[in-house]
Structure 1
Amino acid sequence: MPPLLDQFGIRLPIIQAPMAGVSTPAMAAAVTNAGGLGSIGVGAGSVAEAREAIAEFRQRSDGPLNVNLFCHRPAVADAAKERAWIDRLRPEFEALGAEPPPRLREIYRSFVEDDAMMAMLLEARPHIVSFHFGVPRDEWIVQLRQAGIMLVATATSLSEAQASVRAGADAIVAQGWEAGGHRGLFDPDAPDERLETAELVGLLARKIDLPIIAAGGIMDGSGITAAMESGASAAQLGTAFIACDESIADEGFRLALADADNRPTVMTRAISGRPARSLGNRFTALGSAISDDEIPAYPVAYDLGKALHSAGKAMGEYGYGAQWAGRAANLSRPMPASKLVRTLEAEL
């Protein structure tokens, strides 16, 4: 058994990705109770919502929980760019019989400046806290470690992994180019090496003296085995869990996922303001003709993206949703999360 599994308190090298807007405490508890590591993403919610989610998990499981935070650079307002972005998407709203919002907001607060969220974590003390888009300030890392919390950081490159090691991470999620959802880039405006999962895992396993968790394009037991043969101690699966019963993915997302053979995934910045891999839909097609420098900062752009999705849903059009999914989305298997974990275990 890899030492990481002992440290995490899990039996299987299976981690359910903390997908904000899709994963739930019920899903996380089902995965943990089946021998893997369940996760919840709280970066898109309030402190009260995060506290409630942790409490709900603990009502369902006494096992370990991974709580994930966003550590993105706080957005810098650009009123001219934001007005131009609203005007750019206005025809899409009008075609749906709706009006875009008059102004855009920074809808998510980055953990790097959220003292209340930090205080809640020190109070709740989940077994594991993980970070996406970077790492928090040094003193917070020290306080979390002193509270007995294990820390995991996401890296898309060797330099990001090395920065995470210096910050004090206990393990690194190696997020390959195939992965669904937001790229964990520390700087979304810097060049992206676009390393695929196997290549990144092998590189980090050779260069980093910490356990590596493979993420990106892994959907079954053979994928987990291949990741571990590349040097990973465990695998993190996200897209594999989207169709599970406990997921809160909406009807349109589930239908799109079921049609993944005909919907190649696309890396787009247009939906949220940061590069993210989605099933191909109306929004990704729209974004393909838009240059990155036209798009407001994350998560300000996401305010308009969510408004457009809501307008579409009201008319029965789901093609403007953030249908985050990895390249192997067509291998998705709808079933309860606990059954999926058992299935993955049998395939290992």
Structure 2
Amino acid sequence: MNNHPVSEAAARLGIEHPIVQGPFGGGLSTVELAAAVSRLGGLGSYGAHGLAPERIGEVTAAIRHRTDAPFAMNLWISDHDPGGLALSPEAFDRVYALFEPWFRELGVDKPEMPERYHAEYAAQIDALLEARPPVFSFVFGIPDRRVLEECRRLGIVTVGAATSIAEAEALDAARVDLIVATGAEAGGHRPSFLQRAEDSLIGTFVLVQLVADRVSVPVIAAGGIADARGLRAARALGAGAAQIGTAFLACEESGTHEAHRQRLFGPDARQTTLTRSFTGRLARGLRNRWTEQMGQQPETLPPFPVQGWFVSKLRAAAIAAGRDDLVSLWSGQIAPNLRHRRAADLMQALITD
């Protein structure tokens, strides 16, 4: 049973306030946002799973140049789903046929078949250990014993994500330093690793209580929290801190595009959906034409990361054309309550309200 005082999460992370900025992949994390949150007493985070290994050290150094406070670098432990590591030329052409109408609509040429569809996790983790960030947070699994022992030797705090009791217990057994209990309300990817994400949709405030009663380390609540009220509620239920994603994603310091921000602050924020149509893994975002049409037959979609690779080849053209109906618009269910457009204003409200 978790008998830790709620302040222990912040103490273990070395931060002043029990606030963690959720890490964003797909170019949505920025050095500016992570450093700003850390300078203001929270834990800034950078989603590094899409970075080539050599970029991980560069980004870590860039954040360190902007702040002396702790921050987290985040990786996906699993870099492919079954069938997603490689495709034959014939299979590549079959998958392209699913996307061809979209490529034509946006005027994008057929891409060349790559050697890999995602950066290799093994190389990424070696680069991360060499960069030695203050905190290593991770999703979609648990690093092997060698990695966790090396983190302890280097003084890197480890933070793993759970979407169920079983995942939290597995993280605890592996001696991870803190556990994020991430509920189904959260925006972005559902980082389940012991069951299908569709079978691990426990709400945040239920999950926090279930996990806090069963693990020996501090718990961080994630999902459905965007203000001080949510932070207080999470702490009252046993979390030592809150991880906040959508509210920070909506800030001007993030790497998202302006049309996405406008949608987060508009009436469309009332309708989110869980979809595999962008990356091949289940994630929550705003509904649009892509989720409605490409997501109608999820069984026809290629696995992660193949799906995400093809979608990424369309993203720049879609954004340039103002086609936010064809790009991912990650969002949690709490988005209609968003109020702040700058990280400093959001942090101030979280701390003082």
Establish whether TM, by shorter chain, passes 0.5: yes
Tell which deviates more after alignment, 337-346 or 121-130.
Answer: 121-130
Question: Corresponding residue for 1:309?
Answer: 315
Secondary structure, counterpart of 1:231 in structure 2: coil
Question: Corresponding residue for 1:176?
Answer: 183
1:321 Cα offset (Å): 1.4
Partners in 2 of 1:324 and 1:105 — Cα distance? 28
1:256 Cα offset (Å): 2.0
Tell which deviates more after alignment, 259-268 or 23-32.
Answer: 259-268
1:85 Cα offset (Å): 3.2
Partners in 2 of 1:187 and 1:89 — Cα distance? 30
Secondary structure, counterpart of 1:288 in structure 2: helix
Question: Corresponding residue for 2:237?
Answer: 230
- 8 Å CA contact 1:266, 1:277 repeated in 2: yes
Partners in 1 of 2:350 and 2:169 — Cα distance? 31
Structure 1 residues 16 and 190, CA gap change in structure 2 (3 angstroms): closer
Query: Of 86, 97, 103, which residue of structure 1 is paired with 2:96?
Result: 86
Question: Corresponding residue for 1:209?
Answer: 216
Q: Residue 63 in 1 paired to residue 66 in 2?
A: no
Partners in 2 of 1:236 and 1:160 — Cα distance? 18
Partners in 2 of 1:297 and 1:104 — Cα distance? 15
Report the RMSD for the aligned CA atoms in angstroms: 2.0
Q: What count of residue pairs does the alignment treat as equivalent?
A: 343
Partners in 2 of 1:316 and 1:190 — Cα distance? 31
Partners in 2 of 1:121 and 1:97 — Cα distance? 37
Matches within 5 A, 1:264-343: 264-291=271-298, 293-343=299-349
Structure 1 residues 178 and 63, CA gap change in structure 2 (3 angstroms): same
Report the residue type matching 2:11 in the other structure. D
- 8 Å CA contact 1:158, 1:204 repeated in 2: yes
Q: Deviation digits for residues 81-107 of structure 1, max 9, x if unmatched?
A: 653332122222222333443546643
- TM-score, length basis structure 2: 0.91
Structure 1 residues 223 and 82, CA gap change in structure 2 (3 angstroms): farther
Tell which deviates more after alignment, 190-199 or 296-305.
Answer: 190-199
Structure 1 residues 336 and 196, CA gap change in structure 2 (3 angstroms): same
Report the residue type matching 2:132 in the other structure. R
Partners in 1 of 2:8 and 2:38 — Cα distance? 17
Question: Corresponding residue for 2:24?
Answer: 19
Question: Corresponding residue for 2:111?
Answer: 101
Matches within 5 A, 1:251-266: 251-261=258-268, 264-266=271-273
Q: Residue 10 in 1 paired to residue 15 in 2?
A: yes
1:110 Cα offset (Å): 4.4
- 8 Å CA contact 1:70, 1:110 repeated in 2: no
- 8 Å CA contact 2:184, 2:204 repeated in 1: yes
Query: Of 228, 253, 261, which residue of structure 2 is paired with 1:246?
Result: 253
Secondary structure, counterpart of 2:296 in structure 1: coil
- 8 Å CA contact 2:269, 2:331 repeated in 1: no
Report the residue type matching 1:93 in the other structure. F
- 8 Å CA contact 2:77, 2:141 repeated in 1: yes
Name the % identity: 37
- Give the unaligned 5+ runs of structure 2: 1-5
Partners in 1 of 2:295 and 2:306 — Cα distance? 19
Secondary structure, counterpart of 1:323 in structure 2: coil
Query: Of 227, 232, 245, which residue of structure 2 is paired with 1:220?
Result: 227
- 8 Å CA contact 1:245, 1:334 repeated in 2: no
Partners in 1 of 2:193 and 2:68 — Cα distance? 33
Matches within 5 A, 1:36-75: 36-74=42-80, 75=84
Partners in 1 of 2:317 and 2:336 — Cα distance? 27
- 8 Å CA contact 1:81, 1:295 repeated in 2: no
Question: Corresponding residue for 1:185?
Answer: 192
- 8 Å CA contact 1:278, 1:325 repeated in 2: yes
Q: Which runs of 4+ in 1 moved over 6 A?
A: none
Q: Deviation digits for residues 25-49 of structure 1, max 9, x if unmatched?
A: 2111111111111111111112232
Partners in 1 of 2:312 and 2:195 — Cα distance? 20
- 8 Å CA contact 1:179, 1:216 repeated in 2: yes
- TM-score, length basis structure 1: 0.92
Report the residue type matching 1:169 in the other structure. V
Secondary structure, counterpart of 2:248 in structure 1: helix
Structure 1 residues 82 and 332, CA gap change in structure 2 (3 angstroms): farther
- 8 Å CA contact 1:268, 1:276 repeated in 2: yes
Partners in 1 of 2:184 and 2:192 — Cα distance? 11
Secondary structure, counterpart of 2:108 in structure 1: coil
